[in-house]
Structure 1
């Protein structure tokens, strides 16, 4: 509905009539709507005609100033009477809609159609000022990969004149000419909320390659890229005060962070940072360490911290972990920490000791970590911890986790990902925290695990069997019926996995307390019909790669038979809904049985 509203408004001001040739405005609009064009750059033509139209509109709406001279190729040349009609319509519609509501509408339009949102830039200043923040809060995610280098040209145009001149002089030595030197209409960097350094680097690299051609690319390529990226980082760190999310992904080739001078004026931009993701898979550079020091000094409100280390030198890992321990200690509102790939025991000890001082830590995730010779006792002081994830870690033993028996927190959710050879840790943690957890996710299921869950985890309401591994055929009916408060069950098994055949789930295995069932394991039509024979569900979600119309007919018959189903979700790669019979059945489920259907 929001999309239709904006289309209506846009068509009111940019009418296309069959009786006359396309106007200059319409031609520019078509260019802006074309993804192959530089949709995020300042067109010379656009900068020529847009201010003229906006000044004329402002004269009618907001003042009695003398009308500015009109361009012969502007929309105003279509005729005074037509312009007055358009302005009257604008005056009737726009003042009625507050800016807050317009931003909500534009947000919905952005989710449905980026092209319609770009069209809204051409209506007037009011629309433009509310659309720009949505288009530029994460521009590298919106623009296609082939066109990202054009964003670099726009950001270069946002630099101060002396900065552009200095950058131009430096690049001349490499035979690179800045392709766009006109000053930007807007300070686009101020709208940035989510910033990925790697997207910036790769986009600048692509722009240089297009500028020079493959024959001229040499060993100094990364030096040229860093010159551009360093200047743009200075711009972003100086002016992007709305930035809340910063991502530093693992570097490719000789990519590196710019020198610390690029982050001198970063306190204002980093002060609002709430989410920081850092990934490294090679030797940590001096520039990288300087940047982490900047984060430690400038950021005090990080809530979500994601640290990924892989194949890094152990000595470098200890340095990185020491720096991150300082960052953790300096944050007063840290809610979530994700730590992956750490192997150095001394580094882990520093991280755990820093976490013990955090009073706000709510969620903790460990993945691919070696806990050998590491004492977990500092974690028992994390009073606010509610969610714990341990995936594919090694070195944890019953002895090393025993100190958590004195933990000052009670978990609400516990997630495991354990290799089959080391599932004893899973059993130990289930015994320690089982009495309080309400949501459990496991990927290893055997008789010993089932026994431990039934004895220690009677408060479970949500059970996820995620990418589940079963060592031999297992009937899970005993487990499901033993969890008397179970409300939601999710089963995900890769259909290519041989473990799929080891799952034995029948209709009699579904407990009466179960309200929601999520199946991502590819049952056949016969298996699905058997499973739904006697159970009564309020919500059913099915995600099959090979979902067929026969599956849908089984579900439709179940819904009509039980009259309990209220929510149905189906996701599949196949276009099984092309048939008229399926479309009619779906409509019948909605109209006659009041079932909300989500089909993707």
Structure 2
């Protein structure tokens, strides 16, 4: 007699193996136990999918929406019918599972977009009120069915074009909420409800576009173990009023991310965050991060620092690196100061990942960094007008990078000056390394203007294919937008 694994064991196996969605879909056909285990994983974050020309977004959204409509109670179905809203369900028979109860992540915005995509674009233009009615019935049903919600994402109408009049129901399953993404101008009742039942949020992301709702402060203050805080301020928005609530968690927060197009005078309050490990500033326009006081603070656990756009004065960052560079594993800056670059080599010996701009003629600075940062595994370099040439970068990396190095990212401002022979010479040097290590070779460029910035010639592609087949390199291409987004992520 065959032995049947218990459901919890099977679930642990699937989770441990991190089975991809394609494999999980095949598991649906094994037997009912495998099917139910797979379905629970597939539907816990039903918007976590990739789509392409073979799976149009409209088709995916239509399938999800029809299934959710089938999950609605009869009262809600009749309400939609009486208001002239007709959405076909996948089957006339009862569903095999209550899919709504499997949800662990919920995005109000994605639900809105799904309804707009299917009802307005797919069928016919209907009123915004009817769209809101569909959204509210689905959200109300999910609020009743989800027993353990882990992530909730909700933004107000100022943030997105397609937003409906949403009534936030009571979410009993939100007691287990660990991640919240929202805007600060949501109704007070929304924040008050969460403040009463959610005390274990580990990650909070808030967009500020107007005055801060006082209940936002209460929600932040009521948390027991907040670790990750992501604050964005646009237009007239400001997080200044909630700084006292933030600093209450200065001993538990390990990750801070600030994004703004406003002018903030000081971030001196960050100095109290003694356990900070990751710090990211994303400031646009003329906004400059004020490091006047932060430059002297010692964050003994800081490992990641990213300032990809508007940067503080180089001398402030250099002083900051002098105090904190020894522990840094990753540094990302859009500053092109030779003195700052040399300070990286001097103060950051344990770096593993780096992005910094090198001006034309600063090849010696790149060489110094490669020699000084013995643990460096990955570097991203701009090449083209006013910056280093790719040919010189390839030669320098091949000669001076250590055995730990395994990833080179070239961001092209103009077409590459490296010939197929230059590439082959670089790959041959890599092949001869001891010990052998696969090189991830990434090209970032304006693909719409000229595919891969010169990496579309037959000779170049043949060289790349040859060394990919030999297992020497892994070739990756990205658009400039994808390359820029790297600096915005931890």
TM-score, structure 1 normalization: 0.63
C-alpha deviations, 1:389-429, integer Å up to 9, x for none?
Answer: 34428xxxxxxxxxxxxxxxxxxxxxxxx95x846x23531
C-alpha deviations, 1:510-553, integer Å up to 9, x for none?
Answer: 33442224232245123320343244332231123668755653
CA–CA distance in structure 2, aligned partners of residues 438 and 179 of structure 1 = 52
Secondary structure in 2 matching 1:271:
helix
Q: When you count helix as a share of all residues, which structure comes out higher?
A: 1
1:367 and 2:259 correspond:
yes
Question: 98, 101, 104: which one pairs with 1:190?
Answer: 101
1:491 and 2:355 correspond:
yes
Matched with 2:485 is: none
Contact 2:438 2:471 in 1 (8 A): no
Secondary structure in 1 matching 2:4:
helix
Give the number of aligned pairs.
440
C-alpha deviations, 1:126-162, integer Å up to 9, x for none?
Answer: 2211111122122233375212033222112112223
Contact 1:275 1:304 in 2 (8 A): yes
Equivalence map 1:97-496=2 (5 Å): 100-101=9-10, 104-105=13-14, 111=20, 114=22, 116-142=23-49, 144-147=56-59, 148-169=61-82, 171-172=83-84, 176-180=85-89, 182-209=93-120, 213-214=124-125, 217=126, 221-251=127-157, 252-253=160-161, 255-260=163-168, 263-264=169-170, 266-267=171-172, 269-279=173-183, 284=185, 288-310=187-209, 312=210, 317-319=211-213, 322-341=214-233, 348-358=239-249, 359-368=251-260, 370=262, 382=273, 384-392=275-283, 422=288, 425-433=290-298, 437-443=302-308, 444=311, 448-449=315-316, 452-453=319-320, 455-457=322-324, 459-466=326-333, 468-470=334-336, 474=338, 478-483=342-347, 485-491=349-355
Secondary structure in 1 matching 2:349:
coil
Contact 1:248 1:278 in 2 (8 A): yes
Matched with 2:483 is: none
CA–CA distance in structure 1, aligned partners of residues 430 and 301 of structure 2 = 35
Contact 1:431 1:452 in 2 (8 A): yes
Matched with 1:537 is: 403
RMSD: 3.9
- Structure 1 residue 305 displacement after superposition: 0.2
Question: What are the ranges of 5 or more consecutive residues in structure 1 without an aligned counterpart?
Answer: 1-90, 394-417, 494-498, 591-596
Note closer, same or farther for the CA distance 1:551–1:517 as it changes in structure 2 (3 Å cut). Answer: farther
Q: Bigger shift: 569-578 or 323-332? A: 569-578
Greater RCO (CA < 8 Å, at least 6 residues apart):
2
Note closer, same or farther for the CA distance 1:222–1:187 as it changes in structure 2 (3 Å cut). Answer: same
1:525 and 2:396 correspond:
no
- Structure 1 residue 476 displacement after superposition: 6.1
Secondary structure in 2 matching 1:469:
coil
Contact 1:438 1:460 in 2 (8 A): yes
Secondary structure in 1 matching 2:229:
strand
Secondary structure in 1 matching 2:406:
strand
Note closer, same or farther for the CA distance 1:343–1:380 as it changes in structure 2 (3 Å cut). Answer: farther
Note closer, same or farther for the CA distance 1:272–1:196 as it changes in structure 2 (3 Å cut). Answer: same
- Structure 1 residue 258 displacement after superposition: 2.1
Matched with 2:449 is: none
Question: What are the ranges of 5 or more consecutive residues in structure 2 without an aligned counterpart?
Answer: 384-388, 444-451, 477-490
Note closer, same or farther for the CA distance 1:297–1:550 as it changes in structure 2 (3 Å cut). Answer: farther
Secondary structure in 2 matching 1:229:
helix
Contact 2:370 2:376 in 1 (8 A): no
CA–CA distance in structure 1, aligned partners of residues 405 and 13 of structure 2 = 30
Equivalence map 1:26-45=2 (5 Å): none
Note closer, same or farther for the CA distance 1:257–1:194 as it changes in structure 2 (3 Å cut). Answer: farther
Note closer, same or farther for the CA distance 1:343–1:429 as it changes in structure 2 (3 Å cut). Answer: farther
Question: 556, 560, 575: which one pairs with 2:427?
Answer: 556
CA–CA distance in structure 2, aligned partners of residues 120 and 482 of structure 1 = 53
- Structure 1 residue 237 displacement after superposition: 0.7
Contact 1:454 1:482 in 2 (8 A): no
Matched with 2:480 is: none
Contact 1:197 1:247 in 2 (8 A): yes
TM-score, structure 2 normalization: 0.75
- Structure 1 residue 277 displacement after superposition: 0.5
Secondary structure in 1 matching 2:128:
helix
CA–CA distance in structure 1, aligned partners of residues 130 and 406 of structure 2 = 55
C-alpha deviations, 1:261-296, integer Å up to 9, x for none?
Answer: xx13x12x211111110137xxx46xx333233222
- Structure 1 residue 582 displacement after superposition: 4.8
1:569 and 2:440 correspond:
yes
Secondary structure in 1 matching 2:68:
helix
Secondary structure in 1 matching 2:142:
helix
1:507 and 2:367 correspond:
yes
CA–CA distance in structure 2, aligned partners of residues 105 and 361 of structure 1 = 31
Contact 2:398 2:430 in 1 (8 A): no
